[in-house]
Structure 1
């Protein structure tokens, strides 16, 4: 799991001493504030900024921007001021969106203006310059997006179903053998699937070097891009400090992170290219892009190789980790809500029966399983703030002025906690998505916001939904998840708590996992034999 993988990742304190640069920083902020103020007076044309906390001179709302529990704190702001809140942090305008409707209007309907990303010094320093998740809107981003789409649009995703189903059965077997390692097995199962699709690499059951490289790489991402964690994001000039200077300790950390991020990107790709050159590579994203590039000029081939390298790594890094967290959240929910498992099995027993495993063909006949998947995505926010967008031009919304260059944050945590849409949001309740035994289209589908908005929507969302369905259906059909027991035999219910980071994961928790009956254990082994 990511918390384990990140334990070996170099860390740095976010409270870095920068007193040496105090005067320089003050001048920088003051001039930035003055320039922005003059520009905004000309552009606003009498329109007010959206409401928000009262700013202080020079530093604006810097002290109002939370450094922990940002989803909760920003929700408190939008509850107080409305669906759109304005902050000016050290001259940087920020727009906090507190409702799905506001995010849909700006980030989706006006995506031409809101598809950019803020410049990030950490993107370069920490070795993530290649990931299109953080790339500015432009040709390199569009090219990688186009390539990812061809492999993960709805029709393309169907070709991966046999692999997803086979990996789900292998996952069940590992849960029978090593139930205490279920959090790790969730991660390993997804890694195995994605590595096969991206690189044609079949990973080892344990201690696979490529899985380890990806896990460690994603862990550095999760630490590097927490808003406010690194002052160099606010003051890019800090990246020029020599390593011995007070306030530059972060440079040693990010140098190590850069090597980790590049190894994650490069190691499996180079392995695949070696096999491809020998004619021994399995078909994959990497080989398909390279095959399509044959016949081009040498310079074009070199560019295609870079694109193939980046896109193959992005297929894992851009989406799989969020799905991993959602499946781990599902296990936490089942340990807390055994009645949900009981209802799911009534449906599974009626549709699937005791003599086979669930398949994708059963999907339309299993609305309660689909509802569990939706509730797993809603119940605990995996990416609480999404990835912030940036406005390319001045804009007006509901009579308010939004400046060019604003950081726009869609607070997905708040969307998932909207009591008008999801009554009693802290309770795991799949039935909120059902009506008369079918999925109720009148209830807001969390898929509409958990995967992002507009041109920045996650390209792997259809693959993620399919993976989530087959994992949940397979587990509930064959296994029982219970609370762990203490030394006196008393149940210990897990605490529904998430880690803090760009991607959040369930805090490690114990639970009991076993086959529903000996017959279902036999069914798992039979299913594995059939898939080999």
Structure 2
């Protein structure tokens, strides 16, 4: 299996082998699911058999990150971590506790885009990271060189460095973990050591940060610490709470910034879409205030634009692999216990029967649908995972994305950048390969729509 964009090779194989492909990655039986129907049948309806994760030597042995809810096997510990995440991040009343944080960091994002628009990718990274640092640990980021942001991002860089399915060969050939770090080509051994140190340091220091936060300052990790301290179980649970916080940060930061970068790329390439979204915004919100989450139901076209962004550029193209916990049979095919299951989300969202002209960015494909039909083809039902492994923070992440996109639409104009001769620079439609898949770096022009837009932004900073 190629390490670069495996989703595209799987798409080629579908034409030859069909929507379900069996292959063997070294000694690991692997099934690739190329259609939504196959993925829903196996990963949702038969979730009891398909909720495990593949062997994760890189995470558990090399990084010593065994208490990672994303890679741990199904069972009581995993269910406990999901409860820890879902309680504050899924219920509407709980989500409202974090809305002031998301709004504050969105205002900071607008100010950063106003001051230094060329560095928009870094601003999105700070936005997503700052929101999570506050929600998880109660820490408000006041500068882009915040030491906690830098500390945990160092760990994030190492984790995502080899996290595409198949990229960490040690997961498929475990004996590789024993080769010395000086061995030619063993750069990943040195990366593992550096990342292991960064993970330990960041998890411990952010834990202490949450522990020292005032009781009246709500945070997810802080509330877990207080709860288990009151129950007398903190000593036995402290390690898992540390790892839980780091897992939530890593899982949420990269995907949110990826979606926002893809949104900007789509708007640069499709100015007619951005203009239509701005007209809707002007009709609903006007020019005298910034949009709030209460406006969301009144901005249906913007909702279509964001759905199309998720579809056109899914942040995790091949999802997070599942694994079977027992033998199964599907369409006459035998699927043994321990089989890795890879959902090719990228290809599912390019099914021409569901999404005509799939390579084109067409938000209107979601316009005017019935509630049932809209829900049936909503890309957000795929990009956040399946079944018992679906992302518990998906509503929180979606609110962050909507707030950022809506306020950018309201206050900025986005166009192609121009070179020294004044000629427009058209970005290439190309995405990085890895667990997450942001656009390759590109240039664009982001300018305030008017002096009134500038004043609106300055008034909230």
TM bucket by the smaller chain? over 0.9
Q: Partners in 1 of 2:437 and 2:145 — Cα distance?
A: 24
Q: What is the CA distance between 1:281 and its match in structure 2?
A: 7.4
Between 499-508 and 234-243, report the one with greater CA deviation. 234-243
1:266 and 2:204 are equivalent in the alignment: yes
Q: Partners in 1 of 2:408 and 2:319 — Cα distance?
A: 29
Q: What is the CA distance between 1:198 and its match in structure 2?
A: 0.6
**Counterpart residue number, 1:284:** 219
Q: Partners in 2 of 1:311 and 1:230 — Cα distance?
A: 22
**Counterpart residue number, 1:204:** 142
- Highest CA radius of gyration, 1 or 2? 1
Q: Partners in 2 of 1:430 and 1:246 — Cα distance?
A: 49
1:154 and 2:91 are equivalent in the alignment: yes
Q: Partners in 2 of 1:93 and 1:117 — Cα distance?
A: 13
**Counterpart residue number, 2:419:** 486
The structure-2 alpha-carbon separation of the partners of 1:250 and 1:220, relative to structure 1 and needing over 3 Å to count, comes to closer
**Counterpart residue number, 2:52:** 116
**Counterpart residue number, 1:79:** 15
**Which residue, 173, 183, 188 being the options, matches 2:126?**
188
**Which residue, 245, 248, 263 being the options, matches 1:315?**
248
**Which residue, 286, 289, 299 being the options, matches 1:353?**
286
**Which residue, 69, 72, 78 being the options, matches 1:135?**
72
Q: Say which SS state the counterpart of residue 302 (structure 1) adopts.
A: helix
Q: Partners in 2 of 1:75 and 1:85 — Cα distance?
A: 10
The structure-2 alpha-carbon separation of the partners of 1:90 and 1:272, relative to structure 1 and needing over 3 Å to count, comes to closer
**Counterpart residue number, 1:15:** none
Is contact 2:25-2:172 (8 Å) kept? Answer: no
**Counterpart residue number, 2:400:** 467
The structure-2 alpha-carbon separation of the partners of 1:517 and 1:344, relative to structure 1 and needing over 3 Å to count, comes to same
**Which residue, 175, 182, 188 being the options, matches 2:113?**
175
Q: Partners in 2 of 1:104 and 1:449 — Cα distance?
A: 9
The structure-2 alpha-carbon separation of the partners of 1:180 and 1:86, relative to structure 1 and needing over 3 Å to count, comes to same
Q: What is the CA distance between 1:410 and its match in structure 2?
A: 0.3
**Counterpart residue number, 1:447:** 380
Q: Partners in 2 of 1:218 and 1:430 — Cα distance?
A: 32
The structure-2 alpha-carbon separation of the partners of 1:280 and 1:89, relative to structure 1 and needing over 3 Å to count, comes to closer
Between 158-167 and 179-188, report the one with greater CA deviation. 158-167
Counterpart mapping for 1:211-290 below 5 A: 211-243=149-181, 250-273=188-211, 275-276=212-213, 279=214, 282-290=217-225
Instruction: Let me know the Cα RMSD of the aligned residues.
Output: 2.0
Is contact 2:414-2:447 (8 Å) kept? Answer: yes
Q: What is the CA distance between 1:318 and its match in structure 2?
A: 1.6
Q: Say which SS state the counterpart of residue 251 (structure 1) adopts.
A: helix
Structure 1: runs of 5+ lacking an equivalent = 1-64
Structure 2: runs of 5+ lacking an equivalent = none
Q: What is the CA distance between 1:202 and its match in structure 2?
A: 1.1
Deviations 1:188-238 (A, max 9, x none): 112111111111111132211111122222221222223333432222123
Is contact 2:67-2:244 (8 Å) kept? Answer: no
TM-score (norm 1): 0.82
**Counterpart residue number, 1:5:** none
Q: Partners in 1 of 2:386 and 2:436 — Cα distance?
A: 17
